[in-house]
Amino acid sequence: MLTAGATQGSAGVGAAARGGEARPPALSLLQDLSGPFDPGHLESDSDTLDDLGLSQVVDGLTKGREDWDLRPLFLTRATSVATVRYRQAVFRDLENEQVADAMVGFCRSMTGYRELLGRIARRRHAPQQGAWFLEAAEVYCSALRELACQLETLELDSAGLLGWRDFLLGLTTSTQFSDLAREAASIREQLDRVQYLVEVVGARVTVRRFMGEADYGEELRAMFARFQQGEARSHLFQLRVPPALSVVEERVLDLVARLFPEPFAEVQRFWSVHRGFADPTVLAVERELQFYLSYREFIEPLRRARLEFCYPHVETDARSERVLGGFDLGLAVRLAQRGQQVVTNDFELAGEERLLIVSGPNQGGKTTLARSFGQLHHLAGLGCPVPGREASLLLCDELLTHFDREERLEDLRGRLEDDLARVEEILGRATARSVVILNETFGSASLEDGRRLGEAVVERLIDRGVLGVYVTFIEELSSLSPATVSMVSQVDPGDPALRTFRVVRQQADGLAYAMALAERHGLTYSQLKRS
């Protein structure tokens, strides 16, 4: 029926409080506002998102939730370990189905509230707008009271949700909130007492007060009751009530408002006085809950498929990394939808080790490993559960990628020149806290040029202390330094043409470049067998 001010925006952040003066949120589920402010790091490089397969993941996470503008939240990594742990604790609380159900129910009610707001913005009929505003206030008050009541009985551990519970208890018992709810209920009672008759004679419609006239429907039911033999099958059905009145219905409502001016005047006064009644903290937290619930919903099918997620241990100065059972999130979603198995992989960097040098036959899972490596660091920076049964990761300041691409017509540089320019930019930005992922870089160069360029890049990355992955067919890079670790994509021992998509830590066997050349010229065993 009514809504809380049609100008409050989709996410509610910065919404006007009573009197139209903006107030900042009192708390956040994304970071502890009582501590140092964490500005996050906006990952605005669309090429990096595409390289890692994160663009499709974010599209899936935000689908159906466009009103909350969640995309920036899934692109903004935290810069402090404290913020990551703060978010992980909220996710852990939401592992409790009762807690999650309470939050889902609250968000569903708030969606109804927003729908009512949207109706006000789309219509210009004051009695309808006033009625929607009143209903929005009722929905808002009911949603907050119900959630506060539910959270009082639930066990919570996270500072974020404990703060949210305390805030709700304080808000719903405040004088301002109680007055709003009581006033809305009083006006609703007045409207519920309005009774009128509509008489239609030809094209003439008359609206008048109900004066206790007989209900002919009841008289007809009483008359035919004597003929009833047992319970008859009901033919009643629910009429779908449209969200807005027709032109004729609007005119009838105008006439009703003229017959009963007092309650309708109260509705308009309520709308005028309480514009912007929704607390900005409530609207901000609602948006943040959508962030948590959308990720939880996104990974639930994978959990049902027995894929594991964990809360990674993160450090800003991590000198080692370890992941067990990691996998590419976007690929896993597609495979799970088709009922196909998802292959998981492990990796570890310890001591002096800084770079995974990944080689092996094409289409063997090398690029997938590189993508999952980057995804793990991005998701860990969001505070989300990450794919894998165990993970210890660097909370990086930069996530930099270079994946081989076809030449673009609008780019006047050659492919090798473009590779050199992009890698030089990466090296200029990388620090000891950065994660760098290079996939088939310098693939257009000759073997000797590729080796020399690769060695120079690897040496500079090691000098910077960068953590990362370098996917290449030049296997000599894997033994360049104690900081490099060789990983090789595996094939079926019984049939070398079959890939297992497993990538394991082992010394390169010297076949990667030969296989790359053979595949390029159609001379592999499987290619010759098909010809």
| DSSP result, 456-524 | HHHHHHHHHT-EEEEE-S-GGGGGS-TTEEEEEEEEETTEEEEEEEEEEE----S-HHHHHHHHHTT-S
**pLDDT exceeds 80 at position 438:** yes
CATH (domain of 514): 3.40.50.300
Listed range (1-10, 177-186, 242-251, 495-504) with the worst mean pLDDT: 1-10
> Using CA atoms, how far apart are residues 476 and 447, in angstroms rounded to an integer?
11
- Is 217 within a domain? no
191 shares a domain with 148: yes
484 shares a domain with 347: yes
pLDDT reported for residue 238: 66
138 shares a domain with 259: yes
Q: Radius of gyration over alpha carbons of the chain, in Å? A: 31
**pLDDT exceeds 80 at position 235:** no
pLDDT band at 508 (very low <50, low <70, confident <90, very high): confident
| Closest listed residue to residue 341, CA positions, set 153, 170, 500 | 500
For residue 265, give its domain range. Answer: 78-210+245-304
368 shares a domain with 460: yes
DSSP-derived 3-state class of residue 94: coil
- Is 56 within a domain? no
pLDDT reported for residue 413: 58
For residue 410, give the H/E element and its range: none
300 shares a domain with 332: no
Residues 404-421 have pLDDT tens digits of 765 454 454 578 888 899
Half-sphere exposure of 529 (CA within 13 A, CB side): 6
**pLDDT exceeds 70 at position 248:** yes
Residues 324-348 have pLDDT tens digits of 999 999 999 999 999 999 999 999 9
- What dihedral angle (degrees, nearest 10) is formed by the CA atoms of 518, 523, 524, 530? 150
pLDDT reported for residue 11: 34
287 shares a domain with 396: no
Q: Report the 3 state secondary structure along 217-271.
A: HHHHHHHHHHHCCCCCCCCCCCCCCCCCCCHHHHHHHHHHHHHCHHHHHHHHHHH
pLDDT reported for residue 440: 87
- Is 312 within a domain? yes
Q: Which amino acid does the sequence have at 59?
A: D
449 shares a domain with 362: yes
- Is 408 within a domain? yes
- Is 68 within a domain? no
pLDDT reported for residue 16: 35
333 shares a domain with 447: yes
pLDDT band at 6 (very low <50, low <70, confident <90, very high): very low
511 shares a domain with 469: yes
| Closest listed residue to residue 274, CA positions, set 395, 135, 446 | 135
Q: Which of 304, 338, 372 is the last residue of a domain?
A: 304
Only one residue has tokens 């990761």, namely 393
Residues 121-167 have pLDDT tens digits of 998 899 999 999 999 999 999 999 999 999 999 999 999 999 999 99
300 shares a domain with 331: no
Q: Which of 269, 304, 339 is the last residue of a domain?
A: 304
DSSP state of 68: G
- Is 487 within a domain? yes
- State the chain's mean pLDDT as an integer: 88
> Using CA atoms, how far apart are residues 12 and 70, in angstroms rounded to an integer?
12
- Is 52 within a domain? no
Count of domains in the chain? 2
DSSP state of 96: S
Tokens at 359, concatenated? 């080689």
Beta strands per DSSP E along 417-494: 435-439, 467-471, 484-492
- Is 57 within a domain? no
> Using CA atoms, how far apart are residues 190 and 185, in angstroms rounded to an integer?
9
Residues 110-118 have a mean pLDDT of 95
> Using CA atoms, how far apart are residues 467 and 484, in angstroms rounded to an integer?
10
Give 401's strand partners. 437
> Using CA atoms, how far apart are residues 246 and 292, in angstroms rounded to an integer?
40
- Angle at CA 486, nearest 5°, toward 480 and 492? 145
Mention every residue, 6+ apart, whose C-beta is less than 8 A from residue 309: 299, 302, 303, 385, 386, 387, 388
Q: What is the largest CA-CA distance in the chain?
A: 102
DSSP state of 476: G
Residues 368-383 have a mean pLDDT of 97
260 shares a domain with 190: yes
403 shares a domain with 293: no
Tokens at 397, concatenated? 């300041």
**pLDDT exceeds 50 at position 33:** yes
pLDDT band at 84 (very low <50, low <70, confident <90, very high): very high
Q: Which of 282, 304, 326 is the last residue of a domain?
A: 304
pLDDT reported for residue 53: 95
Give 356's strand partners. 469, 485
DSSP state of 431: -
Residues 278-288 have a mean pLDDT of 97
Only one residue has tokens 């500072």, namely 159
Q: Which amino acid does the sequence have at 295?
A: Y
Contact indicator for 238, 96 with CB cutoff of 8 Å: no
Instruction: Please report, rounded to a whole number, the percentage of residues in the chain having pLDDT higher than 70.
Output: 88
DSSP-derived 3-state class of residue 138: helix
Q: Can you give the pTM of this predicted structure? A: 0.86
> Using CA atoms, how far apart are residues 493 and 463, in angstroms rounded to an integer?
38
Residues 174-195 have a mean pLDDT of 96
